[in-house]
Amino acid sequence: MKRIGVSGLVLLIWALVALAAPWLPLHPERIALEAILQPPDMQFWLGADDIGRPVLDRLLVGARTSFWVAGWVVGLSVIIGTLLGSAAAYLGGIWDRTLVMIIDLFMAFPGILLAIALAGLLGPGINNLVFALTLVGWVGYARLARAQVLSVKSREHVVAAQALGTPSSRIVLRHLLPLITAPLVIEATFGVAAVVIAESGLSFLGLGVQPPEASWGSMIRDGVRYLLVAPHLVLAPGAALFLVVLSVNLLGDRLRDRLDVRTWVRVGEQGARV
């Protein structure tokens, strides 16, 4: 429980910093030549980078970058994947077979390599980064939504709605989607961690957020050259990335335990034995 509490606090701070960053007195592009590679002190709490910019300010702006990229990518991927997977599974026939072929085509390539290829073709930039990661990310949600709809579309209330002549779109939205929300929420939680890592990785390679905008991945890339003389340039964004990804994964594990019916059954059986 303590780990979950700490992880929740980390994610809350991450969200608050991302939302409040435009109104905070941050100066991520302010250059102080006398402070080049300066270690942490009272003036620069996390030190300064190779051209004298405050690492703390850039770290907070990078938190906003990762938060918004993760939000947009996961949100768009969930919407697109859920709608396509649910509709194809419910309609069946050629629609379902076509979607399965498309999913298999995307699953044949490693997701991160496909994202790198798309980002390279589209060019660097945060908008192209979101588009590339969304084009790769929707597949997992479509596959999950399809499997879930196939398992619940023969239930009595769905058959009754069909017998009453309810439109297919209404059946999917009102009778099927509420039943498959839990696994999609869990998958989306883990998806946030995956997108944060992917965004940092692409920015590290120079295919994501471009200078002078701050990103944890680009901060690590710039700091690698000075790792021996100024390790704070890598340790600060690396620690932030580690804490956020770990906290998101812990939250996902907690949600999975809370929303998994099989866990409730096991707990009930243990109580009955006692």
pTM (2 d.p.): 0.87
Predicted pLDDT of residue 261: 55
* Backbone Cα Rg of the chain: 22
How far CA 243 is from CA of 68, 85, 88, 133, in Å, comes to 17, 33, 38, 22
In the chain, domain spans? 2-273
The CA-atom distances, in angstroms, between 119 and each of 191, 193, 216 are 19, 19, 18
* Secondary structure percentages of the chain, helix, strand, coil, to 5: 75, 0, 20
CA distance 104 to 143: 10
Would you state the pLDDT for residue 4? 53
pLDDT of residue 274: 43
Task: Encode the chain (274 residues) as per-residue pLDDT tens digits.
Answer: 444 578 888 999 999 999 998 888 888 888 888 888 888 888 888 989 988 899 999 999 999 999 999 999 999 999 999 999 988 988 888 999 999 999 998 888 888 888 888 888 888 888 889 999 999 999 999 999 999 988 888 778 788 887 877 787 788 778 788 888 888 999 999 999 999 999 999 999 888 888 888 899 999 999 999 988 999 999 999 999 999 999 999 998 888 888 765 544 443 444 444 4
Give the architecture (CATH level 2) of 2-273. Orthogonal Bundle (1.10)
Q: How far apart are the first and last CA of the chain?
A: 23
| Whole-number Cα distances in Å, 241 to 60, 103, 145, 184, 272 | 12, 30, 29, 24, 43
Instruction: Map residue 54 onto helix, strand or coil.
Output: strand
The pLDDT of residue 266 is: 47
- Say if residue 212 is preceded by a cis peptide, omega within 30 of 0: yes
